[in-house]
Amino acid sequence: MSPVSSQVVSQRQLGRSILAVLAGMAVGIAVTLITDILLRKAGVLPPLGERVPDRVLAWVTAYRVVYGIAASYLTAYLAPYRPIAHAMVGGAFGFVASLAGAIATWNAGPAYGPHWYPVALILVALPQSWLGGWLRTRQIC
């Protein structure tokens, strides 16, 4: 392969890598927001600004983990190479976003819920991403 065509392939793979991570993140965020909206309309989640009971937050955490695994699986599926690494990049963005959210809301009042919830989101970001990528690699082998 000539150096020029190698560079084109490399750029194409970089573009596919970026799109894989962005697509997984976008789908994960969209599905989470849609679920939150539907649960608010159904009365399962209280209106914005009201405190969510701990038992409901436990369910919210559970579906966010499932969605995080699915989003990471999608990222790994779309990745041109190294699917787990791509899933972990998405997980790193999720980790940073969860950490920023925890810092921003830590003492912002009861409407933001108990401190365990943002800590849980931080703690599960990377493991759920790894699991989504690993599940995809199990399919490939």
Residues in the chain: 141
In sequence order, what are the residues at sequence separation of 6 or more whose Cβ sits closer than 8 angstroms to the Cβ of residue 91? Answer: 68, 72, 125, 126, 128, 129, 130
Dihedrals φ, ψ of 130, to 5°?
-60, -45
What phi-psi label fits residue 127: left (phi over 0), alpha (psi between -120 and 50 degrees) or beta? alpha
The pLDDT tens digits of the residues spanning 52-110 come to 999 999 999 999 999 999 999 999 999 999 999 999 999 999 999 999 999 999 998 88
- At residue 113, the pLDDT reads 86
Sole residue written with tokens 């995809």:
136
